[in-house]
Structure formats: C-alpha cells, structure tokens
Structure 1
Amino acid sequence: MAEPTVTAGKAGARPDLPAHVTTPLLTLITARSMDEDYAHVARQRAATGEQAPDRRRPHWTSLGAIALLGVMAAVVAAQTDREAAVTELSRAALIDQIDTRHDQLAGLQEKVADLTRSNAAATTSSARLQDQLDDIDGRVSRAELLTGFSVVHGPGVRITVDNKPGVDVNSEIRDEDLAILVDGLFEAGAEAIAINDQRINALGGIRNTSRAIHVNGRPVNAPYVVDAIGDPRTLQADLLRTSEGQEWFALVNGLGFVYEPENVDDMRLPAAPERPLRDVIEDNADPDGTPGGGGNAP
C-alpha cells in the first residue's frame, strides 16, 4: 500500500486539511489583516489613479528634514561650546568676587571687633569720669554750702534785733554789735546766717558807714532780722554758752536792745553775692602768682 504524500505544514498536521485550517490562529489573523489592509489601499489607489511610491528613492522632504536636523545639531554643539567657555569665565569671575567679598567681610568684622573693644573702653572710662564728676559735684555743693554761695533752707532760729525806742545815737546798734551776735551763732552751731536777706560769708562783711550799717556792701535798716539755720532745740541755749553770746546779751541788757527770738521750722536763705578774688595766691605758687613754683623748702 502506498504512503500518502505530506504537504508542507507544521509537524503533525493532517495532509488532507487545507492550509487555513492547519495554520495557527494568531498567525492567520495577522496575515489576513495585513493582506486586507494592503488590498484596501491598492484598491483606493487604483480607483484614484495614484501610483504607489517608489520605495527605492528617499523623499526630498525626508532629506531636507535630515539636513535641517544636522544643521541644528551643529549649531547647538557650537553654541554649547561657546556657552561653556562663557560659563567657565563667569564662574571664575564669581569665585574672584566671592574671595574679594570674603576678604572685605573679614576686614569689616575685625573693624567691628575693634570698635566694640573701643566702645567698651569708652564706656568704662565714661563711668569712671561720671563717678569723678559726681564726687566733684558733691564737693562743690558742700563747698558752696560752707562758703555761702548756694541757696539753703532748713529749720533754725529767727532773731529780730532793734534799737531801744527813743535811744540816742551813741546807744544805737552798730556793725560790731551785729558781728558779735553772728560770731556767737556760728560758734553755737549755726550752718548759715543772713541779716535782712543778706547772706554772711567769708568774703562779705558787716560795716558801719556813718550811722548806716552795710552788709555785703549793701545798706540794711533796723529792725535787723537775723536768720540762722541750725538745730532750733539747742541753738539758743548753745549761744548763751559762747563767749560772744555772753558779750551780746550783756549789750542787750546794758543798752536795752530789742531781742525777739523764735524757732522756725523751715527758712530759706539766699546765696551770698559772688566777688572775684584779687589778692589770693595759691599756697605753692611763686610770689607772682604762677602755679607750680615750689620756692626754697624750709
């Protein structure tokens, strides 16, 4: 018995079946789809009379596009090279600027540190000078109080002194009588004294000019009001214990002076008039008044 002839196909396929039956389904679908698409396109071209493009020659548009892409690539490459050089220069310049500014900043920081130290030293010096000024102000205030060149107020004794009514000229109160009373009050502890609002101090004085009494060069008239700032509880009693006080009360009793004391809780005394020094020479000065002259030591 003769063997049947096997047609081309896959191994194991039956020779009596057609090819579209033995071909795998996916391969058959792909082949038929592509064939139908080509057939459809061919029918449309045949109907319109259009001929199929010659695939052997590239289209001029494609060539132009390729050429344009090449030119653009060359331009981009050249531009990139130029920008790379500029970028490198800019980077170097920026680094130089950073270094320069860093040096400037370091210099400014050092200046700030120097100024901070100077400011701290100046603050310390200012505080020290302020302490010295405060001490000087206190000393000046005390000196003005003691010398009578500042206005003062406080408790004390007010003594009104007047001539005896109907007394003759020889029995009137004179400058030396008031001076005795003032010296006695100072010795009794008075801190400041004024006669008829004329402050008594070392540069002032009580003088007689004919019958008128002058205090600090200004005339004062009776009754004479003597204001003495001090402790009102003890000032009058202490005045009686001084030699000047005893002499004063002897005059009061002998000549009949009017003497009316009273304690005052708060009285205000004006400052003494300032007068320039004329003949005072510094203790360690030359005879011509030049400071610093030591002269011969004793």
Structure 2
Amino acid sequence: MDQDGGPEQRRRPSAWRFGVPVVCLLAGLLLAATHGVSGGDEIRRSDAPRLVDLVRESQQSVDRLTAQRDGLVNQIDTHHGGSPGADAALTAIQNRNARLAADAGLDPIRGPGLVVTLTDAQRDAHGRFPRDATPDDLVVHQQDIQGVLNALWNGGAEGIQMQDQRIIGTSAPRCVGNTLLLNGRTYSPPYVITAVGDPAKMQAALAAEPSVTIYKQYVVRFGLGYSEEPRASVDIVGHTEPVRMQFAKPAGPIGY
C-alpha cells in the first residue's frame, strides 16, 4: 500500500528499458568502425594466395620462359645456319677444340709415370710427437705440394692428377687449416699426386727441387710422410669441370 492507502501498488522501472538502446547503439558503432577499417571488404579474408593462383602464376612463368628459350634457339640457329659457310666454320672450331683438349688436360691419358704421396706426421710408438715440434712442423703445407707439382712439370710430366682431379693451367691447390682445397673440393691427407711421363726424369727433377729437399729434411726430423713410386702404367683422368678463362689486360700503353 502507498502512503495514501490506495490499493494500487507502484511498479519499479525495468533496466531493459535503458539497456537495450545502449546495446544497439554500441553495436552500430562497432559495425561502423569495422566497415571503415576493412574498406568494405571481408575482414576475415586470408592474405595468403590460393594454391590455384600459385599454379596459374607458375604456368604463366613457364610459358613465358619457354617462349623466350624458343626465341633464343631460333636466333642461334639463324646465326649458325644463316650463311653457307657457317656450318663449315662451326665444324672447324669444334675440330680445333678437340685437338687442343689433350694439351689443355681435358682428355684422360695413360702411360708410364710416378706416384708421389705426402702426408702429415704420425705419432711414435708412445703416441707422442717430437718434443720440439710446432703444429706447423707436423703438417703438409701448400708450398710443399706446389714444390712437388713444379718439379714434376720441370721433369717433363705430360699430365698430373692430384687426388681424383686433373691438374690444369687454372688449378690452384690451397691449404685451409690441415686440409687441401682444390677446385672447390676439400681433401685430407695423404695427398696422392700421379704424373704421366718418364719416371727417372721426374725423380731427378724432384731431387733437384729446393722446396722438396727442405720437405725431406722435415720428413727425417719430424716424421712427415713422403714416398715416390715409379710405375709402368698409370691412368690420369681428364678435367671435367667447366673451364673459365680469364685474360690479362695491359695496365697502360704498350711500347715497342
């Protein structure tokens, strides 16, 4: 009952009368903000390309490169076959390359030869190295290998192979730590050098090479390994890697 004693009871205002408009207003603001951020696009769309799109792009790239390749092949065929003497000139160049391949070391050879082996020092029966040896005294160095190679060439070697690679004009053995780097591949000792030629002449050249003489002194003093083995026949592989030539350029005017 109210204070006036009336039979009608007052009703308290419901919270939904104010809450629903507020929720609707907030939802509208959220939708408006989302639309502004996405620019009208799907906000859950993945940025990752679809597989079908990747396949289509790859196919287009293949088609484009294929057309480019066909065009280059056509240009080569046109240049080579564009004149009556083109085929003859190309054949002459190929024949000349074949004649020079042997001198360049590209062809394998066989004949009497010499096998030289160099290796690092080994420990004695007690597992020790000489007391006064330094680490540099116990390993084969680049200059040791280069000295053997130079002596073999001076002794008339027709071809030289080191490990499993042919030594040509552009070969440059390099020591990296206690390993050897040759044409991009690394090797560990023992280092085996095989040469085709007159064994007696090559051994005489090795005996006359100063750097080899010094190395032999280290063999006696610190236990480095060295051996020469003449053979009636040895096989030497041909150089199979691409030959990249670099030409020297004059630094200034050439006087006569």
The normalised TM-score by structure 1 is 0.45
Compared CA separation, residues 148 and 282, structure 1 to 2 (3 A): farther
Aligned to 1:190, what secondary structure does the other structure show? coil
Compared CA separation, residues 233 and 208, structure 1 to 2 (3 A): closer
Please say if 1:274 is aligned against 2:237: no
Task: Write out per-residue CA displacement over residues 41-66 of structure 1, whole angstroms, 9 at most, x where no aligned residue.
Answer: xxxxxxxxxxxxxxxxxxxxxxxxxx
Larger helix fraction of residues: 1
Please say if 1:261 is aligned against 2:210: no
- Aligned runs of 1:10-49 on 2, under 5 Å? none
- Aligned runs of 1:98-177 on 2, under 5 Å? 133=92, 137=95, 140-141=97-98, 143-166=100-123, 167=129, 169-170=135-136, 171-177=138-144
CA contact (8 A) 2:216 2:226 kept: no
Larger relative contact order (Cα-Cα within 8 Å, sequence gap ≥ 6): 2
The normalised TM-score by structure 2 is 0.51
Percent of aligned pairs sharing the same letter = 22
Compared CA separation, residues 140 and 161, structure 1 to 2 (3 A): same
Amino acid across the alignment from 1:198: Q
Q: 2:152 & 2:254 partners in 1: Cα distance?
A: 42
Count residues with an aligned counterpart.
158
After the TM superposition, which of the residue ranges 245-254 and 211-220 deviates more from structure 2? 245-254
Q: Which has the larger radius of gyration?
A: 1
* Structure 2: gaps of 5 or more residues: 1-84, 124-128
Please say if 1:211 is aligned against 2:178: yes
CA contact (8 A) 2:117 2:225 kept: yes
Aligned to 2:180, what secondary structure does the other structure show? strand
Aligned counterpart for 1:220 among listed residues 187, 190, 198? 187
Compared CA separation, residues 187 and 253, structure 1 to 2 (3 A): farther
Q: 1:179 & 1:151 partners in 2: Cα distance?
A: 22
Task: Write out per-residue CA displacement over residues 131-189 of structure 1, whole angstroms, 9 at most, x where no aligned residue.
Answer: x959x84x645532332222122110112221120256322112221111111111121
Q: 2:211 & 2:98 partners in 1: Cα distance?
A: 29
Q: 1:296 & 1:161 partners in 2: Cα distance?
A: 44
- Aligned runs of 1:182-193 on 2, under 5 Å? 182-193=149-160
CA contact (8 A) 1:183 1:244 kept: no
Amino acid across the alignment from 1:271: G
